[in-house]
C-alpha cells in the first residue's frame, strides 16, 4: 500500500469517526439535554418513549460508524 493510499484510508476512517461523534451529539446528547432542561416546556410518557428509542437508534448508529472506522484503519500496512 502506497503512502497516498494510507493517507486516503486514514482520511476515510477519520470521516467515519467524525460522523460517529456527530451522531452521538445530535441524536443522543442533544435530546437528552433538551429533556433535562425541559426546553419544549412539556414532558410526557410518550415523549420519554420517543427519547429512549431515538437515542438508542442514534447510539447504535454512532457505534456502527465507529466500528467501521476501526475496520478501515485495519487495512493500513
**DSSP designation for 28:** I
Give the model confidence (pLDDT) of 44-53 as tens digits.
677 788 889 9
Q: What is the pTM of this model?
A: 0.85
The angle formed by the CA atoms of residues 15, 19 and 70, to the nearest 5 degrees, is 60
| Joined grid coordinates for residue 50 | 420517543
**Cα(57)–Cα(61) distance, rounded to whole angstroms?**
6
- Dump pLDDT digits (tens) for 30-69: 988 888 888 877 666 777 888 899 999 999 999 999 999 9
Termini Cα distance of the chain? 6
Amino acid at each position: 500500500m502506497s503512502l497516498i493510499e494510507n493517507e486516503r484510508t486514514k482520511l476515510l476512517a477519520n470521516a467515519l469517526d467524525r460522523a460517529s461523534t456527530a451522531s452521538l451529539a445530535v441524536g443522543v446528547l442533544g435530546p437528552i439535554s433538551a429533556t433535562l432542561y425541559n426546553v419544549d416546556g412539556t414532558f410526557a410518557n410518550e415523549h420519554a418513549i420517543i427519547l429512549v428509542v431515538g437515542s438508542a437508534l442514534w447510539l447504535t448508529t454512532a457505534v456502527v460508524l465507529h466500528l467501521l472506522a476501526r475496520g478501515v484503519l485495519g487495512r493500513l500496512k
